[in-house]
């Protein structure tokens, strides 16, 4: 199952990019034997300032055809790492070819795009900077692959 990140904004060089790249490499390496990955990133920017709906249109165009859509949203479901791993395995085993995670812009994800989502995840009730959410998601993807592989990375 290919994993896509569709996000508003560009993650430039710096500590967040370094961390994300490290976790993506780990996920791709660990997930390969589990039919998870590869991971790809699709960044969009609304240069005209059209707001959430314009961002939603750009994000929609970045989504792979037929992909399962999972938003990262404060209203989403809070999962433990093992629960997240179970969801990934269930989606993969259910025949999903593509899984797309969506991270909106500063104002969040437009209601029209949120309504299209198959699932929504929250990293808690606090609001996180969008660049950190990318790092947190890629770390959790690697952790989930490690859990599914029986590797010792996750110690709960």
Give yes or no for a cis peptide into 147 (omega within 30° of 0). no
The annotation status of 128 as a binding-site residue, yes or no, is yes
Give CA 31 to chain center in angstroms. Answer: 15
The annotation status of 119 as a binding-site residue, yes or no, is no
C-alpha distances in Å from residue 106, one per residue of 38, 55, 127: 27, 10, 10
Give the torsion sign (CA, 120, 6, 24, 95): positive
The annotation status of 131 as a binding-site residue, yes or no, is no
User: Strands 98-103 and 68-78, how do they pair?
Assistant: parallel
The annotation status of 127 as a binding-site residue, yes or no, is yes
The annotation status of 11 as a binding-site residue, yes or no, is no
The annotation status of 136 as a binding-site residue, yes or no, is no
Pairwise CA distance, residues 113 & 72, whole Å: 12
The annotation status of 125 as a binding-site residue, yes or no, is yes
The annotation status of 72 as a binding-site residue, yes or no, is yes
Binding residues for S-adenosyl-L-methionine, as ranges, are 72, 104, 123-128
Binding residues, as ranges, are 72, 104, 123-128
């Amino acid at each position: 199952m290919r994993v896509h990140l569709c996000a508003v904004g560009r993650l430039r060089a710096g500590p967040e990019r370094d961390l994300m790249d490290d976790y993506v490499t780990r996920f791709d390496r660990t997930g390969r034997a589990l039919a998870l990955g590869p991971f790809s990133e699709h960044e969009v920017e609304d240069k005209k300032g059209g707001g959430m709906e314009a961002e939603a249109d750009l994000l929609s165009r970045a989504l792979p055809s037929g992909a399962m859509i999972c938003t990262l949203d404060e209203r989403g479901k809070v999962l433990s790492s093992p629960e997240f791993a179970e969801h990934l395995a269930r989606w993969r085993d259910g025949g999903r070819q593509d899984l797309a995670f969506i991270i909106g812009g500063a104002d969040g994800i437009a209601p029209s795009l949120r309504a299209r989502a198959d699932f929504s995840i929250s990293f808690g009730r606090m609001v996180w900077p969008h660049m950190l959410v990318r790092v947190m998601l890629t770390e959790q993807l690697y952790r989930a692959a490690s859990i599914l592989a029986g590797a010792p990375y996750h110690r709960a």
